[in-house]
Amino acid sequence: MIDELKKKIDERNYKVAVVGLGYVGLPLAVEFAKGGFPVVGIDIDRKKTDAINSGRSYIPDISDRDLKRAQEEGGLVATTEFSRIGEVDAIIICVPTPLSKTRDPDISYIMSALSEIKKYLKRGHVVSLESTTYPGTTDELVRPTLEKSGLKAGTDFYLAFSPERIDPGNRVYTVKNTPKVVGGINKDSTEIVSYLYSRVLEKVVPVSSCKVAEMSKLLENTFRSINIALANEMAIMCNILGVDVWEVIEAAATKPFGFMKFYPGPGIGGHCIPIDPLYLSWKLRTLNYNARMIEVASEINTSMPRYVVERVADALNEHMKSVKGSKILVLGIAYKKDVNDTRESPAFDVIKLLEIKGASVEYNDPFVPRARINGHFRDSVELTGDRLKQTDCVIITTDHSVYDYEFIVKNARLVVDTKNATKGLSENLIRGKVVKL
Ligand SMILES: NC(=O)c1ccc[n+]([C@@H]2O[C@H](COP(=O)([O-])OP(=O)(O)OC[C@H]3O[C@@H](n4cnc5c(N)ncnc54)[C@H](O)[C@@H]3O)[C@@H](O)[C@H]2O)c1
């Protein structure tokens, strides 16, 4: 059967379904379509499927032109109908994997997608799970759920885990040129899933099992979380010692080996780095092991908004002001520069903590015109010289490239810069005005 499937893939007589058309699923669906595969994108959100079908992208990394090209070359159609699974050959699952209220893994989106997929599963189907999850999910949950269809994984249908590594906003590494790890439940599964991806992506890295593939993704993101926590704690320690953390990092980075730069900030955000390591520590807790480094890193990173507010209070104090009653403008509520994703963004906690202390807070973010913050919907305010002049403190929480930092510092009375975005501005301009993290 494997050779037969490979032939169909080569002839592009092979339809791919991408389930979940968000930051991960849409770029992947576009890549397959651009590679000449007919693609059916399935999402429960009709607004997204309607947008795709009318050629409108809602993901900054995908332009309307990319979408149109994908539609022309492969034939990308979007639908909310799971029954379309019956007409495809491969199913790639890219649904969310957030945390529950108690900060445990919430795999309900995977389970709900599987319960639909299972109904239409047929012989020869290839299934790849891309959603980040704890080690064991594919073997222990996905496999038995799909086998309820009466088909056997590894022989009747093929199953693998292939972590998505996309870095939204990254212009150098995209879904196409970021190597793709694939671990199947058996050799045939790894082989056919790797073959499929290798037709549209530059490099595929097959590994020996689903668990290795699942764990490799969690190692990558735990590595980032721990190193960001180290950078954040360095910022706190440098402040106590009266040293500029940014200068320290740049000096350390001149070592040509054994060091990699990570920067501090107001915390960590996004759908991955703050969450994924907790999937791993949760799994280990069920096996009576306490993943200490993950817990400590998470504690440091989630405490950063409180630290930022402390720095703001100190800075206002220097200007004979209290937080209570101050007018504060937060610049950037996306979790990182040049994206519109606000999930887990620390700016939200910074605003909430300032409001608890009695500050009046507005925000500006060119990528996020409206957002629900501290229980209320608000609009991004205009960033004008007058507004900056009338604000007691401006906090740079996201260093979007479009901001004119010189204009901001020139007009603001006080700036707390959590991202070193004001680097390079003249010392005369920033002295007495800019407080760095
Ligand atoms: N965003 C990233 O940078 C990134 C990077 C690597 C890995 N990941 C992982 O990829 C997965 C998806 O993340 P994302 O950022 O694309 O999420 P997202 O929220 O942007 O997109 C998920 C999509 O799935 C849809 N969906 C939810 N339940 C569904 C269901 N039962 N059936 C069909 N569609 C459903 C949602 O409507 C949404 O459009 C997560 O596991 C995440 O951890 C994300």
Instruction: Please state whether beta strands 180-184 and 158-161 pair in parallel, antiparallel, or not at all (unpaired).
Output: antiparallel
Q: How close is the Cα of 19 to the center of ligand 1, in Å?
A: 9
Q: How close is the Cα of 92 to the center of ligand 1, in Å?
A: 12
pLDDT, tens digit (0-9, with 9 covering 90-100), for 371-426: 999 999 999 999 999 999 999 999 999 999 999 999 999 999 999 999 999 999 99
In angstroms, the Cα distances linking 112 to 203, 301, 341 are 31, 31, 24
Q: Which residues touch 95 (CB under 8 Å, ≥6 apart)?
A: 19, 20, 25, 109, 110, 112, 113, 131
What pTM did the predictor assign?
0.92
Residue nearest to atom 24 of ligand 1 (CA): 20
Rounded (10°) angle between helices 292-318 and 210-241: 30
pLDDT, tens digit (0-9, with 9 covering 90-100), for 282-311: 999 999 999 999 999 999 999 999 999 999
Cβ atoms of 244 and 303 within 8 Å: the answer is no
Strand-pairing partners, residue 181, are 205
Tell me which DSSP letter residue 269 carries: -
pLDDT over threshold 80, residue 74: no
Quickly state the pLDDT bin for 71 (edges 50, 70, 90): confident
In angstroms, the Cα distances linking 123 to 38, 120, 147, 149, 303 are 19, 10, 12, 11, 50
- Best probe residue, ligand 1, of 18, 19, 24 (max atoms within 8 Å of C-beta): 24
**Cβ–ligand 1 contact at 44 (below 6 Å):** yes
- Mean pLDDT value across residues 235-252: 97
- Cα separation, 253 vs 234, whole angstroms: 14
Tokens of 335: 């979790």
pLDDT, tens digit (0-9, with 9 covering 90-100), for 140-174: 999 999 999 999 999 999 999 999 999 988 889 99
pLDDT, tens digit (0-9, with 9 covering 90-100), for 325-345: 999 999 999 999 999 999 999
Tokens of 400: 């979007």
Instruction: Please state whether beta strands 376-379 and 370-373 pair in parallel, antiparallel, or not at all (unpaired).
Output: antiparallel
Mean pLDDT of the chain: 96
pLDDT, tens digit (0-9, with 9 covering 90-100), for 1-13: 899 999 999 999 9
- Cα separation, 110 vs 96, whole angstroms: 8
**Cβ–ligand 1 contact at 113 (below 6 Å):** yes
Q: Is the CATH code 3.40.50.360 the one for domain 226-436?
A: no
- Mean pLDDT value across residues 263-278: 95
Give strand ranges (E) for 169-259. Answer: 180-184, 204-207
Q: How close is the Cα of 129 to the center of ligand 1, in Å?
A: 11
Could you tell me which CATH number the domain at 2-217 has?
A: 3.40.50.720
List every span in the chain annotated with CATH 3.40.50.720.
2-217, 226-436
Q: Which of 94, 210, 238, 272 is catalytic?
A: 272
Sign for the CA dihedral angle at 282, 183, 161, 151 comes to negative
Question: For position 176, what pLDDT does the model report?
Answer: 95
Is position 94 annotated as part of the catalytic site?
no
Tokens of 363: 């925000």
- Mean pLDDT value across residues 244-256: 97
Residue nearest to atom 36 of ligand 1 (CA): 20
